[in-house]
Amino acid sequence: DNDDLITEAPVQIVSTGHSKVMIGIKDYKQLHNLRPDMKELNELSRIINCNGYFVFSFDSDEKDILLKGRMFAPAIGIDEDPVTGNANGPVGAYIVKYKLAEFGDDNFKFSAKQGISIGREGTINVNVNIENGEPVKVQVSGTATVVFKTEIEL
pLDDT in single tens digits along all 154 residues of the chain: 899 999 999 999 998 888 899 999 999 999 999 999 999 999 999 999 999 999 999 999 999 999 999 999 999 999 999 999 999 999 999 999 999 999 999 999 999 999 999 999 999 999 999 999 999 999 999 987 787 899 999 9
Give residue 9's pLDDT.
Answer: 96
Determine the pLDDT at residue 78.
95
Q: For the domain 2-141, what is the CATH code?
A: 3.10.310.10
CB 120 within 8 A of CB 114: no
Domain residues of the chain, as ranges? 2-141
Q: What is the sign of the dihedral through the CA atoms of 45, 42, 146 and 143?
A: positive
Give me the residues paired with residue 21 across strands: 13, 53
pLDDT at 76: 94
Tell me, rounded to whole angstroms, the distance of Cα 83 from its chain centroid: 8
- The predicted pLDDT at position 16 comes to 81
User: Which residues have CB under 8 Å from 36's CB, separation 6+?
Assistant: 53, 72
pTM of the entire predicted model: 0.91
